[in-house]
Amino acid sequence: MLHSLRTSAWSVIFAFLLVPALAWAAADFTYSASHVTQKSPEHVLSVLTAYGNTCEKGCKYYGPDLVEFTMLKEKKTPTSWYTWSHVSTTMKQVKYFSFVQVTKNADGTFVMTTKQLDERDQAVIDELVKATNREHAPAFDTGFTKFTVTKLPDGKTKVTQSMKMSASGMLAMFRGKIESGMKKGAEVTFQNIEK
């Protein structure tokens, strides 16, 4: 009987400890969408790289909750560069560096990737913080976006945006809100392309 009570007590304690631990576990989020436009691949690239012209208020292109979106001069090459983003939500101020790379094809089509810097990039983060005096405090553990821009036989351009992010802690508990935000982000990008 005493053994049975101890076993039951440990089961309750284990369950009590396990539930919060699962809530803090990391979660992955993915979203992909495509858009067909009359605009050229060159126009699409100019919109995707309209740093300084994309924000929530007062910019040519709309970026939900985006306060500042800047291309950095540090480590810039013709096909790769770093950016810094400041996103302000009702819950948090988010500031982070990303690495952008563009691979162009002879016909003007391209693939553009954006990777939020994470703990594996700590040396680069430290260097950019020092050089720019900007903070790196991302909301997500990892973030990766890929744009694949191709020409269709009818002369139109197809833009596919694929996103993958991971989160841990309390943020991971808001799956619906995160997935909704990813979808909205793609929709806004496609709307900006049409301007």
Neighbours of 30 (CB within 10 A): 12
Residue 18 has pLDDT above 60, yes or no: no
Per-residue pLDDT reduced to its tens digit, 111-127: 999 999 999 999 999 99
pLDDT at 10 over 50: no
Domains of the chain are: 27-193 (3.30.530.20)
Mean pLDDT of the chain: 88
Residues 16 and 119: their CA atoms lie apart, in Å, by 31
What's the mean pLDDT in 12-34?
Answer: 64
Q: What's the average model confidence in pLDDT over 76-97?
A: 93
pLDDT recorded at residue 120: 95
Q: 31 near 20, Cβ under 8 Å?
A: no
Q: pLDDT digits over 161-174, tens only?
A: 999 999 988 877 87
pLDDT tens digit sequence for 70-81: 999 999 999 999
As a whole number, mean pLDDT of residues 54-78 equals: 95
